[in-house]
Amino acid sequence: MPLQFQLTSASVMNAFFIPELGSMIYTMNGMATRLNLRADATGTFQGLSAQFSGDGFADMHFTFTSYARAISKMGAGRSNAGKSLDERSYQQIAKPSMKNEPEIYRLADPDISHRSSHRNCRRRQDAGGREGCFAANGGRRCS
């Protein structure tokens, strides 16, 4: 079962890693990155943040459960399980915290990823006169 993750960071650089499923990928503010993994069997896999990011880093791990056969039959992404991930709930989970219990969210706002990756970007012109979105901390163009 192919899996596609779209990842970003609303603050510090981080890394998303599920070792048994494949690659690790870094996230940065102002960027959206994609990670393609494959979970061909039903199972439980340990994931973690692989980039030191401050207090609570040691507790930044999670369990990923693959229901490969069940999802392929019902259609991935069609679940109504979990809480609704919208702007209001995003603001709550984006607050600094440590040792939170795992929660399940379903996407209610398809633009939330784009907005969260561009929260610290500012519109301006680059040295060549092109207008665009740039990271507030320097000249890096937001994707």
Question: Which structural domains are found in the chain, ordered by start?
Answer: 2-135 (2.60.40.420)
- Please tell me the predicted confidence (pLDDT) of residue 46: 93
> Which range among 37-51, 69-83, 128-142 shows the weakest confidence by mean pLDDT?
69-83
CA distance 39 to 88: 31
State the average pLDDT over residues 115-134.
Answer: 65
Tokens for 119, please give them: 């929260």
Q: Which of 20 and 129 is assigned the larger pLDDT?
A: 20
Task: Cite the DSSP H helix spans in 15-97.
Answer: 68-74, 87-93
pLDDT at 55 over 90: no
